[in-house]
Amino acid sequence: MSVRVVLLGPPGVGKGTQGRRLAAQHRWSLISTGEILRDAVARKTLLGLEARKRMDSGLLVPDDVMIGLVRDRSAEDDSAAGFVLDGFPRTVPQANALDSMLQARGQRPDAAVGFDAPAEELVRRLSARRECPVCKRTYNLVTAPPQNNQECDDHPGTVLTQREDDKEETVRKRLQVYREQTSPLLDYYRGQGRLRMVPATGPVDDVYHSLSRALGC
């Protein structure tokens, strides 16, 4: 079965963690636009140089850049069996563009999952979030710390890092951008009858269970 799933929700709600697990379990590809951009920033490519300032200030990268990026990535072979979109679409024009690009391939987004959690919880989670610079696995220093101090469990000796945009002031900006530009997408997908809401508070395993149930897989 080939399935295309869109994950929606504010920063810190767990889209990345849940998306990674969902994609791995079903052998779908995971398309994380934030991860693609952070990789481009690290490699100092043209895209990275263009995107960095906006990312560091918690703002969105222009729609045309993001749409081109997802159009290319979703057409790659590993996405043929299905994909999970983490972080895209983030605006109504991006959602329209996704519908058009999939329609041109005789496809459509099968489901949009809306994760939700209280704002103060998100700020708390993001300030304790760390990631492995090698494998991108994320940890939470309070609720899901690594076994050995601040090193990745899968890459001993590699010290976890904090994302530049996880500093508190930037987090608040990102939450505002989410409310203003991205949350209208909940209505967009609700109107199409494709939205499934999943509460994202509580243990990661419980949220994953709710996600699987919401998707019927």
Verify whether residue 27 is a known catalytic residue. Answer: no
- Please say which residue, 58 or 213, places its beta carbon nearer to ligand AMP: 58
Identity of the residue, 44 or 213, whose beta carbon is nearer to ligand AMP in the bound complex: 44
Which residue in 15, 20, 21, 73 is the catalytic one? 15
Which helix (H) or strand (E) segment holds residue 18: the answer is helix 15-26
Question: Is 10:121 a contact under the CB 8 Å cutoff?
Answer: no
Q: Give the nearer residue to ligand AMP in terms of CB position, either 47 or 207.
A: 47
Q: How far is the CB of 192 from ligand AMP (least distance, A)?
A: 19
User: Are 42 and 163 contacting, i.e. CB atoms less than 8 angstroms apart?
Assistant: no
| Those residues with Cβ within 8 angstroms of residue 211's Cβ, 6 or more apart along the chain or in another chain | 18, 22, 113, 198
Residue whose CB is less far from ligand AMP, 126 or 216: 126
Q: Is 125 a catalytic residue?
A: no
Residue 12 CB, nearest approach to ligand AMP (Å)? 8
Q: What's the closest the beta carbon of residue 50 comes to ligand AMP, in angstroms?
A: 11
**Nearest approach, Cβ of 156 to ligand AMP (angstroms)?**
26
DSSP 8-state code for residue 109? -
Residues at the interface with ligand AMP (CB under 6 A): 11, 33-34, 37, 54-55, 58-61, 66, 87-88, 90, 94, 165, 174
- Residue with smallest beta-carbon separation from ligand AMP: 34
Report d(CA 205, CA 182) in Å as an integer.
Answer: 26
- Nearest-angstrom CA–CA distance, 172 and 196: 26
Catalytic residue annotation:
15, 90, 129, 163, 174
